Amino acid sequence: MTTPEVSSSRYSDAGVDIDKGNAFVSRIKKIVRDTHSRAVIDDIGGFSGLFSIGNANLKDPVLVASTDGVGTKLKIAHLCNKHDTIGIDLVAMCVNDVIVCGAKPLFFLDYFASSSLDLEVATDVIKGIAAGCKMANCSLIGGETAEMPGMYQPGDYDLAGFTVGMCDRDAIIDGTSVRVGNKIIGLASSGLHSNGFSLVRKIVFDELQLHVNDHVQELGSTLGEELLKPTKIYVESVLRVIRNVKINAMVHNTGGGFYDNIPRVLPSGCKAVINKGSWTMPPIFPYLQAKGKVQEVEMYRTFNMGIGLMVVVNEADAETAMQQFRAMGEQPFLIGEIAAAKKDEAQVVINGLTA
């Protein structure tokens, strides 16, 4: 048996274009460099990003890391053919996780994978990531661009993000100082953020048969405009407030909603009592609940319901904290308090929910 001749052994014939990848790197160099702080060490090697922590000025510095993606919100970007904000979501999902323990995000890395690299789309994605990094005051120091034909459908791409922050060990916010009587402040979300989109798509596309360009009266915008609102980045606001107010715990309200996220920071014997109606809820949530016939408990288990970040403070500090968040441009609401919990009692109670 003879071995069949191979007509070409070029990598591009297999669907991976090295030259296009090099062109992409050249395109985004300035976009990336514009996010760099003085701690970034440039132009040394090409296989990793270097970041100096020599001027940390901390007694016992601790590195804090997080990784995340944006889920099927990517599908919305694809349907809208708008890719310059999804990178903000990617950064937000990571840096908001880092700040809840009191850490300042230092740098960010991204992973972009597709069947075949579309230079325009990929550049727009990186522009969004760079914009998010500037909002979070962290540096984009590296990333990976992978072409994987056969793994993804033509036109699709996937994203993952990675961030590293730092704080002093003595300043870590971990919920251990939460006490009965503490107040819970909720910071307004911009909308859905980046969670629950599989259910969202089922309701609006499969059940309602809507298109992203359809104007939805209840939302005051097209469906696509509402669904693509970027996730809020709370870094600067939180870092400013923790300088002046003792924060006992913070909760990034993402997948799992109120019921799964809040217990992560509650010590034994405590429960969070949330008062429904104590904040202004964006119209996307009642719209989805009504049109999708979703039970209210399920809504609070799946979505942020208009609260993107929760901050637990001593009762005496609540008003000061809210004033400072307002000064930073946030919309804070006093949404609940910490109460005593009996053994085996639920750690989250939402007053006013319908069964």
How much is the mean pLDDT over the chain? 93
Residues 6+ apart with CB under 8 A from 9: none
Distance CA 308, CA 331 (A): 11
Q: How far apart are the first and last CA of the chain?
A: 72
Lowest mean pLDDT among 32-46, 78-92, 242-256: 32-46
Distance CA 24, CA 55 (A): 33
Kindly tell me if the per-residue pLDDT of 25 is higher than 50: yes
Domains of the chain (ranges plus CATH)? Answer: 15-171 (3.30.1330.10), 183-351 (3.90.650.10)
Tokens of 214: 């359809």
Question: Please, which pLDDT band fits residue 202 given cuts at 50, 70 and 90?
Answer: very high
Distance CA 238, CA 247 (A): 10
Do the Cβ atoms of 252 and 96 come closer than 8 Å? yes
Burial bucket for residue 225 (CB in 10 Å: 0-12, 13-18, 19+): middle
Q: Which amino acid is at 234?
A: Y
Question: Who wins on pLDDT, 139 or 32?
Answer: 139
Distance CA 49, CA 31 (A): 15
Distance CA 256, CA 136 (A): 24
Kindly tell me if the per-residue pLDDT of 7 is higher than 80: no
Sheet holding 157-168, edge to edge: 61-68, 157-168, 104-114, 139-147
Question: Please, which pLDDT band fits residue 16 given cuts at 50, 70 and 90?
Answer: confident
Question: Please, which pLDDT band fits residue 4 given cuts at 50, 70 and 90?
Answer: low
Q: What is the mean pLDDT of residues 217-226?
A: 97
pTM of structure: 0.93
Per-residue pLDDT tens over the stretch 332-349: 999 999 999 998 888 999
Distance CA 252, CA 263 (A): 12
